[in-house]
Amino acid sequence: MSDVVLGITDAPAARAREWALRRAQARGVALREILIAPSRDEADAVVAGLTDADVLVLPGEHGHPYRSLIAAAPCPVAVVPENEAGAESGAEAPVRHGVLVGVDASEVSEHALAFAAAEAVSAGEPLIALAAWEPVSVGTEPGLDLWTGALPVDLSEATAGMLERMLEPIRAAHPGLEVRARVEVGDASALIEDVSHEATLTVVGSHGRTGLARLLLGSVSEHVAAHVSSPTIIVR
């Protein structure tokens, strides 16, 4: 089984180290450390050492500076925030439950969904599959003697149908897994960030799709990496 790799950067990493150690111990594999700091332009050299890694663990930073490394890594990348979001100093940490995964109709999303389901089964927690769509408007050409107002297009049914199709193989592969399907209206990045405050773990694909599928989810990995509120794994 592949090692868990902890990326040592110039950011505080006590919580990332603890998370990586727990994951390595749970899987019975070694925890390996690689130095990334202080230079932030060593993606190629780092990537070469990750071909057989289970996951690369990085400390969370606001406006994450390792976007190129996250994009190029051949393995999943976990970004673990140093501070528990939602908990002020001296206050109790928020109650978290479930593995959250952002879903669209892309192949990368299929990989993320399968990965998240396996994580949920391993942790004994429910899988929360979230698909989002944003309202769009369809109007007539200007200058024509036709109604020129905006006609809102409701994509909720289409999005729900897409989500159920994506979940069919997951339900078949994990019949005992509790799956909670959620369809929300709004910006996918903001919605996933908001719901992640309630989740033990968040999983997203490294990129989404263009066209209609992009409207349903879009590419959220960069936003999530820059605004993590809980341990988040980005899957290729």
- Tens digit of each residue's pLDDT (9 = 90 or more) over 118-153: 999 999 999 999 999 987 655 555 554 444 455 567
- Cα separation, 156 vs 62, in Å, equals 32
Indicate if the pLDDT at residue 111 is higher than 80.
yes
Domain boundaries, the chain: 1-83, 92-236
Indicate if the pLDDT at residue 7 is higher than 60.
yes
In the chain, DSSP finds a helix count (H) and a strand count (E) of: 8, 11
- Mean pLDDT, to the nearest integer, of 52-65? 81
- Mean pLDDT, to the nearest integer, of 11-17? 89
- Cα separation, 172 vs 113, in Å, equals 13
**Which comes out higher in pLDDT, residue 220 or 91?**
220
Q: Which fold has domain 92-236?
A: Rossmann fold (3.40.50)
* Model pLDDT for residues 160-214, shown as the tens digit of each residue: 999 999 999 999 999 999 999 999 999 888 899 899 999 999 999 886 554 334 3
- Mean pLDDT, to the nearest integer, of 7-31? 92
- Per the structure block, which two tokens stand in for 141? 């050409």
For residue 36, what pLDDT is reported? 81
The set of residues, in sequence order, having a beta carbon less than 8 Å from that of 115 and lying 6+ positions away, is: 76, 101, 203, 233, 235
For residue 216, what pLDDT is reported? 33
For residue 138, what pLDDT is reported? 56
For residue 93, what pLDDT is reported? 63
Q: Say how many CA atoms lie within 13 Å of 16 toward its Cβ.
A: 29
92-236: same fold as 1-83?
Answer: yes
Of 9, 16, 17, nearest in space to 38 by CA: 9
Amino acid at 86: G
User: Per CATH, is 1-83 categorized as 3.40.50.1370?
Assistant: yes
- Tracing tokens 């994506």 back to the chain, one arrives at 166
